[in-house]
């Protein structure tokens, strides 16, 4: 029986000191395996082979660790642990590129650009729904101005029209909304 097999048997029996004996026996080979795995990774990888070995070691010897039949089985498990670590890191980086760091904001915390009381905001929204049917462009201007708080210059740029055009539409829409809100009973 090789030293490695003897130590594996001791680890499986629950001998805590055997784990301390196992690492020096396998560390150099795990490091070579990690270096080989890292060679296939894209440049700019922040994970180093030593860190990969340590993470794999923690997974191999942590709670619920498996029984290894022999040296080959142990290194196959180590290679699989390293592969999973690299895949998890790649997925995490991919999530970060796709907005995982974006701040999640509850819609309950979002406020409109206006300081008007809720009843007024609701009344304007109801009138705005009717304006959409009549003139969707003016309704868009109202949404951007009243609910988002954009300036007339910003709205003109966003909609690709001149500032005087936005001023005209805003003035007309505002007058229409005022008249509409006066004539419509509130729900």
Alpha helices in the chain (DSSP H): 3-12, 16-39, 49-61, 71-97, 118-134, 136-142, 152-159, 163-183
What's the mean pLDDT in 54-82?
75
Tokens of 112: 């409109």
How far apart CA 46 and CA 48 sit, in angstroms, is 6
- Say yes or no to pLDDT of 133 above 80: yes
Q: Which residue has the higher pLDDT, 20 or 174?
A: 174
CB 141 within 8 A of CB 170: yes
At 77 the pLDDT is 80
What's the mean pLDDT in 71-89?
79
Query: Do the two domains 3-97 and 108-183 of this chain adopt the same fold?
Result: no
pTM: 0.46
Domain ranges of the chain: 3-97, 108-183
How far apart CA 177 and CA 183 sit, in angstroms, is 10
3-97: which CATH topology? Rna Polymerase Sigma Factor; Chain: A (1.10.1740)
Q: Identify the architecture of domain 108-183 in CATH.
A: Orthogonal Bundle (1.10)
What's the mean pLDDT in 30-52?
72
Mean pLDDT rounded to a whole number for the chain: 76
What's the mean pLDDT in 24-46?
72
CB 167 within 8 A of CB 152: yes
DSSP, res 85? H
What's the mean pLDDT in 139-158?
86
């Amino acid at each position: 029986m090789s030293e490695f097999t003897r130590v594996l048997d001791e680890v499986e029996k629950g001998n805590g000191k055997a784990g301390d004996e196992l690492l020096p026996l396998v560390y150099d080979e795990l490091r070579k395996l990690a270096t080989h795995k890292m060679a296939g990774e894209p440049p700019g990888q922040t994970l180093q082979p030593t860190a990969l070995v340590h993470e794999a070691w923690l997974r191999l010897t942590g709670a619920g660790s498996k029984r290894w039949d022999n040296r080959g089985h142990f290194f196959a498990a180590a290679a699989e642990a390293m592969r999973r670590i690299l895949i998890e890191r790649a997925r995490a980086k991919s999530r970060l590129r796709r907005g995982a760091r974006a701040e999640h904001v509850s819609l309950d915390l979002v406020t409109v650009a206006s300081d008007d009381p809720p009843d007024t905001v609701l009344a304007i929204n109801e009138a705005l729904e009717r304006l959409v049917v009549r003139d969707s462009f003016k309704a868009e201007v109202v949404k951007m101005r009243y609910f988002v708080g954009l300036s007339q210059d910003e709205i003109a740029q966003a909609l690709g029209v001149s500032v005087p055009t936005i001023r005209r539409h805003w003035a007309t829409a505002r007058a229409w909304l005022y008249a509409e809100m006066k004539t419509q009973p509130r729900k």
